[in-house]
Amino acid sequence: MLKVKGLSITFLSIVALSFSPVISLAADSKEESVKKESVEISSKIDKALDSVNTKYQEVESLKSEVSKTEETIKETQNNIKETEKSIEKRTVLMGDRMKNMQENNSSMGVMDAILTAENMSDFFNRVYAVTVLQGAEKAKVDSLAEDKAKLDELRGSLETDKASLTEKQSTMEQEATSLENDVDSLKAELSNNQAVLDKLSKDKMVKEAKAKKVAVEVANRKEVEAKAQTRETAEKEKAPISSTTKVSQPVKEEVATPEPETTPEEPKPTEPSSGGQTMQMEATGYSYTQPGLSFYTATGIDLRQNSRVIAVDPGTIPLGSVVEVSGYGIAVAGDTGGDIVGNRIDLHFNTIDECKNWGRRSVSVTVR
């Protein structure tokens, strides 16, 4: 009879303790769904960041081309001015010569020089010399005019190229801004998912704590009642039937009610201390492929899916911030480290060789 009671007590305890996993099944399913969605969002963020960096590189390249074109235009304009001065100088010189010839009857002197030739051969030589001199002056002016025309054409072409490059630069900057907005939206979505995960985790802990408490209380109560009943039966069987015999009363055990479990206080969010500002920091590299390192960051980002991550001191740069690091690009502040304090940051690379190539550098960090 006692064994049967003992078995029933054990069975009740097992049933009570089995409530916890049944209660958490729905929460586990939702939690896995949210985690899967977070991984997909992280992958989208990584692709968006790559696109942003590509666009910024294209913008910088276009800026460089625009700058070179402006320098060429400036040089061409200077050449045009010099050519115009030369044409003007040659034209004035030719005009002065004609004027002198008219004032001093030089034309007659030239004719006399030709007509006073000693023979026909000398005559033709003198005529040829005068023709060559006059032709050389005209050819020089014509050549300078052609050079000016070519320079004017080149300047027009360069101005067209500059306008086209400027338009492309503006388009690229707009696309980069649009991609940045996409990153911000994905970041907000990922943050919302993290908040849902935190709430699910907290609710799950509370439910499990309550279920365990109920199970323990049920098991303790049944066990105490069974022991009391067993003692009472045993004492009745042993005690002699006598008027002077006092029947001992069963001793009732007191069971200490377990203290309610308390959930740890959630950390308060860090107030952004440098939003929009640029800071000078020391940067080293790290990779999840290094021995002993996990591919998950302190904020739960999977580095295999989203590799563009930096480790920061949350007191200096808030976790979750989108930052721009000189020489590295745009990334998410999504990890921490024991040595990452103050103006120290760690940049994630996919390979150890990339980390070695980076070494330690002084960089400028802008929180966007």
pLDDT in tens, 317-363: 999 999 999 999 999 999 998 889 999 999 999 999 999 999 999 99
Q: Phi/psi class of residue 260: alpha, beta or left (left: φ > 0; alpha: ψ in -120 to 50)?
A: beta
pLDDT at 353: 95
Residue segments in the chain with a per-residue pLDDT below the cut of 50: 1-20, 22-23, 209-210, 213-214, 216-217, 242-274
Note the pLDDT of residue 329: 94
**Verdict on whether the full-model pTM lies above 0.85:** no
Number of helices (H), then strands (E), in the chain: 5, 6
Look at residue 315 in the predicted model and tell me its pLDDT: 94
Amino acid identity for residue 186 in this structure: L
Q: What integer pLDDT is reported at residue 59 of this predicted model?
A: 87
pLDDT value of residue 319: 94
Residues 257-273: b if buried by 16+ CB within 10 A, e if exposed:
eeeeeeeeeeeeeeeee
Q: How far is CA 63 from its chain centroid?
A: 21
Query: Pairing between strand 309-311 and 322-325?
Result: unpaired
124's tokens? 């033709």
pLDDT of residue 262: 39
- Cα–Cα distance between 202 and 196 in angstroms, integer? 10
pLDDT of residue 344: 95
Q: In angstroms, rounded to a whole number, what is the distance separating the alpha carbons of residues 237 and 351? A: 80
- Per-residue model confidence as pLDDT tens digits over 60-91: 888 888 888 988 988 888 888 888 888 888 77
CA angle 134, 137, 143 (to 5 degrees): 135
Under 8 Å between Cβ of 288 and 348: yes
Residue 77 is predicted with a pLDDT of 84
Taking the C-alpha atoms of residue 3 and residue 226, their distance in angstroms, rounded to an integer, is 11
The whole-angstrom separation of Cα 11 and Cα 17 is: 10
**Alpha-helix runs per DSSP H in 245-349:** none
Closest CA to 299 of 270, 264, 335, 254: 335
Which of 286-319 are b and which e, b meaning 16 or more Cβ less than 10 Å from the residue's Cβ? bbbbeeeeeeebebebbbebbbbbbbbbbebbbb
What is the C-alpha to C-alpha distance for residues 44 and 70, in angstroms, rounded to an integer?
39
Q: For the chain, give the number of residues.
A: 368
- CA atoms within 13 A of residue 25's CA, in its CB half-sphere: 5
